C-alpha cells in the first residue's frame, strides 16, 4: 500500500487486498481512485485465494470485471499451525484505535469475568515491559511478541477479536474458531464480519450487543478452517523481476 514506490524502468508490484475500498456512500469514488493507482503497476498481488465464493476478502479482493493485472497469491500470515494441547478456552485479542479499544476491553471484562472458562486477554498495548494481571477469572497481558502469540493461539479453543483482514488471515492459517466484533464505523471490518457470518463461517455481533451467550454460536459455525489455503509459489511470483 505504498502508492509512490514504483518505477517505469523496473517491474513494480502493488500488494493489497483492497481492490475495492469501502468508505460508505463514497465507496464507488474511493474504489475507482484506488484502482487507477493500482493500474500504474505491472501487477497487483492480492493476499487471498482465487475462489469465487470461499475466499477471505470477498468483494474487497475480487472484481467482477477485472481491468487490472491481478494475481491472487494465497493467504499470507506470519503464523504457523502447531498441534499443541488446548489450555485456553477463550483468547481475547484487542487492537485498533482508541477509545474503541478500551471500550471493548471493558465490555469483554464485564461479560467474561463470571465465566468458568479459562480466559486470556491480550490488550494490544506495546510497552517497554510485558505486564501480567489477574481480573477475576481473566488473565490480562498488555502485549505479546509474535512467537509467544503464535503458541498462545495454537493453544486456544476460541478467539474473540476485531475483524481486521490481517487477523482474519492469521486465524485462517491456524484454522481457528472465532467470534468477531468489528470496530464501530470501520466499513471494511463490518463488511468482512457480516460476510463471514452469512457464509456460516464465523459468528459476529455489534460491540454494544455482545454477551457471553453469543459465544454458544461459535461451535455451530464452520470456522475459518473451512477456507482453503493455497501455497504461494514464490519462484513464479518473483520471476517477474528476473533479468531477460
Chain Cα centroid distance, residue 15: 16
SS3 224: helix
Residues 213 and 237 in one domain: no
Q: Which pLDDT score is estimated for 228?
A: 58
Residues 152 and 98 in one domain: yes
Cα–Cα distance, 36 to 59 (Å, whole number): 17
Kindly state whether residue 2 falls inside one of the protein's structural domains: no
Q: For helices 165-173 and 187-198, what crossing angle results, to 10°? A: 40
The backbone torsions φ and ψ at residue 192, rounded to the nearest 5 degrees and listed phi first, read -60, -45
Q: Which pLDDT score is estimated for 18?
A: 93
Exposed (0-12), middle (13-18) or buried (19+): which is 226, by Cβ within 10 Å? middle
Q: Which pLDDT score is estimated for 116?
A: 92
SS3 180: strand
Residues 194 and 214 in one domain: yes
Q: Which pLDDT score is estimated for 226?
A: 57
Kindly state whether residue 65 falls inside one of the protein's structural domains: yes
pTM over 0.85, yes/no: yes
Kindly state whether residue 81 falls inside one of the protein's structural domains: no
Residues 221 and 100 in one domain: yes
Q: How many CA atoms lie within 13 A of 6 on its CB side?
A: 17
Kindly state whether residue 141 falls inside one of the protein's structural domains: yes
Cα–Cα distance, 233 to 18 (Å, whole number): 22
Residues 127 and 183 in one domain: yes
Kindly state whether residue 216 falls inside one of the protein's structural domains: yes
Query: 37: domain range?
Result: 13-75+230-241
Kindly state whether residue 6 falls inside one of the protein's structural domains: no
Kindly state whether residue 96 falls inside one of the protein's structural domains: yes
Query: Which parts of 174-238 fold into alpha helices (H)?
Result: 187-198, 234-238
Q: What is the DSSP letter of 99?
A: T
Residues 17 and 117 in one domain: no
Q: Which pLDDT score is estimated for 206?
A: 97
Per-run averaged pLDDT (10 residues), the chain, 244 residues: 76 92 92 92 91 88 86 91 96 97 98 94 96 95 97 98 97 96 97 97 97 96 74 81 69
Q: Which pLDDT score is estimated for 231?
A: 67
Domain total of the chain: 2
Cα–Cα distance, 234 to 171 (Å, whole number): 22
Q: Which pLDDT score is estimated for 10?
A: 85
Contact 94, 123 (CB under 8 A): yes
Q: How many CB atoms lie within 10 A of CB 87?
A: 11
The backbone torsions φ and ψ at residue 139, rounded to the nearest 5 degrees and listed phi first, read -90, 130
Q: Retrieve residue 7's grid coordinates.
A: 518505477
Residues 71 and 173 in one domain: no
Shortest CA distance to 180 belongs to which of 207, 162, 153? Answer: 162
Residues 138 and 192 in one domain: yes
Q: Which pLDDT score is estimated for 235?
A: 84
The backbone torsions φ and ψ at residue 29, rounded to the nearest 5 degrees and listed phi first, read -65, -50
Q: Which pLDDT score is estimated for 133?
A: 96
Q: Retrieve residue 29's grid coordinates.
A: 469514488
Amino acid at each position: 500500500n505504498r502508492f509512490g514506490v514504483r518505477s517505469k524502468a523496473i517491474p513494480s508490484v502493488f500488494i493489497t487486498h483492497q481492490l475495492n475500498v469501502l468508505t460508505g456512500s463514497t465507496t464507488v469514488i474511493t474504489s475507482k481512485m484506488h484502482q487507477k493507482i493500482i493500474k500504474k503497476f505491472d501487477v497487483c498481488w492480492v493476499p487471498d485465494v482465487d475462489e469465487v465464493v470461499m475466499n477471505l476478502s470477498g468483494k474487497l479482493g475480487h472484481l467482477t470485471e477485472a481491468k487490472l493485472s491481478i494475481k491472487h497469491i494465497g493467504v499470507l500470515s506470519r503464523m504457523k499451525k502447531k498441534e499443541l494441547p488446548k489450555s485456553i478456552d477463550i483468547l481475547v485479542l484487542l487492537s485498533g484505535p482508541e477509545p474503541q479499544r478500551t471500550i471493548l476491553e471493558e465490555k469483554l471484562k464485564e461479560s467474561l469475568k463470571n465465566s468458568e472458562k479459562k480466559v486470556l486477554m491480550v490488550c494490544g498495548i506495546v510497552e517497554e515491559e510485558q505486564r501480567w494481571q489477574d481480573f477475576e477469572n481473566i488473565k490480562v497481558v498488555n502485549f505479546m511478541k509474535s512467537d509467544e502469540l503464535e503458541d498462545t493461539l495454537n493453544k486456544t479453543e476460541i478467539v474473540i477479536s476485531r475483524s481486521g483482514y490481517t487477523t482474519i488471515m492469521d486465524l485462517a492459517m491456524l484454522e481457528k474458531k472465532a467470534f468477531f466484533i468489528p470496530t464501530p464505523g470501520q466499513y471494511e471490518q463490518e463488511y468482512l464480519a457480516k460476510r463471514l457470518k452469512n457464509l456460516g463461517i464465523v459468528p459476529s455481533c455489534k460491540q454494544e450487543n455482545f454477551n457471553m451467550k453469543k459465544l454458544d454460536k461459535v461451535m455451530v459455525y464452520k470456522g475459518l478452517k473451512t477456507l482453503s489455503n493455497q501455497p504461494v509459489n514464490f519462484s513464479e511470483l518473483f520471476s517477474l523481476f528476473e533479468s531477460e
